[in-house]
Amino acid sequence: MKLSGAEAARFCAAPKPGVAGALIFGADAGQVAERRDQLLGKLLGPDAEAEMRLARLTGADLRADPAALDAALRAQGFFPGPRAVLVTQATDGLAPLIGAALAGAAAPEAFLLVTADALTGKSALRALFEGAKAAVAAPCYAEAPDARALAAMLAAAGARDPAPEALELLQALSQGMDRGALARLVEVLALYAREAEGALSAADVAACAPPFGEAAADAAIDAALDGATDVLRAQLARLAAQGGGGVALAIAAARHVRALHAVAAAGAQAGGALMRIQPPSRRDRAAAQARRWGAARLERALETLYEADAALRGGSNAPPAALLERALLRLANAAPR
């Protein structure tokens, strides 16, 4: 069954009975992770991990052992209650295997949840879930949450009811963040203002907000690696307006690409390299970027960034902003689709 963006959000918040599986996909890995965790929480309750009612697999796991998915779906748990199998980093090449498993899945004892990066309309994985009677395809579209969604995020984190001006400021800040960074800000805000009295204020939000340059730098780097040239140009313009960019951004970009290279080079043993990526909310997106780029492309990306950094430090006559923009646009244009 094919869901619209609004229908997908409603399904993850209140899944319908009789659905045996779901595909959650989108370019914003943070938003995909948020919807994934929300849906699993609604399906399984808060103690699923401790009670071993949730099995986790990756696309790489299934390529190495195609029987793992069927075994996980058929496994008998030690604790009563619904079970689910989560498959992350899925690709179109796994559509036949996932389709066969989905055909034999029984809801709600063995719910099959699959997550993936952005998928085109011709995607075999997307077509599988859209065409299934007992499964749904739930897309995540990159858009800032509205005031109601922000209020719900604050409530879920245990924050006090926000004043209107606090919600207005938080919504403005969310325009420059992915969902992982926004979720991290909400968690920090809930902890910061937990002991205070009265409504959550705009001053509370301002005290917890990350420096604009940090959020915009992460967004610019992600946009370059994801091939989103329009988003990249907008983020670079915002950084320039705030006096950011230059050598600091080049260093941050190179550091992130080096971390991705370590993940890509580790292959099936990438867990340790991925755990070193901070903050943790960026790991899902970083894993997707490392998988798409691969070690060889990331090495070439590092060369591009090192050249830009050397020019910035070496007193080039070209404007620093132009040097960095050229380097990041080269990455965006080279980004695997």
pLDDT, mean over the chain:
84
- The residues near 325 (Cβ < 8 Å, ≥ 6 apart) are 233, 236
Tokens of 180: 């992982």
What is the per-residue pLDDT for 24? 95
Name the CA dihedral angle for 156, 187, 185, 85, rounded to a multiple of 10 degrees.
Answer: -70
Grade residue 93 by pLDDT with cuts at 50, 70 and 90. Answer: very high
Instruction: State the SS3 of 88-133.
Output: ECCCHHHHHHHHHHHHHCCCCCCEEEEEECCCCCCCHHHHHHHHCC
What is the per-residue pLDDT for 316? 64
Asked if the model's pLDDT at residue 85 lies above 90, the reply is: yes
Question: Which stretch of 111-115, 294-298, 318-322 has the lowest confidence by average pLDDT?
Answer: 318-322
Contact 125, 133 (CB under 8 A): no
Percent of the chain past pLDDT 70, that is, above it, reads: 90
What is the per-residue pLDDT for 118? 82
* DSSP string over 31-79: HHHHHHHHHHHHHH-TTTTTTT-EEEEEHHHHHH-TTHHHHHHHPPPSS
pTM of the model: 0.53
Cα distance between residue 188 and residue 281, in whole Å = 13
What is the per-residue pLDDT for 15? 92
What is the per-residue pLDDT for 201? 86
**pLDDT, tens digit (0-9, with 9 covering 90-100), for 136-153:** 999 987 666 778 888 888
Which one has a higher pLDDT value, 239 or 176? 239
Grade residue 108 by pLDDT with cuts at 50, 70 and 90. Answer: very low
Contact 220, 324 (CB under 8 A): no
Q: What are phi and psi of 57, to 5 degrees?
A: -135, 155
Which one has a higher pLDDT value, 180 or 32? 32
Percent of the chain past pLDDT 90, that is, above it, reads: 30
Grade residue 181 by pLDDT with cuts at 50, 70 and 90. Answer: confident
Asked if the model's pLDDT at residue 212 lies above 60, the reply is: no
Grade residue 241 by pLDDT with cuts at 50, 70 and 90. Answer: low
> For the chain, which domains are there?
5-140 (3.40.50.300), 147-210 (no CATH), 213-334 (1.20.272.10)
Grade residue 198 by pLDDT with cuts at 50, 70 and 90. Answer: confident
Average pLDDT over residues 47-58: 87
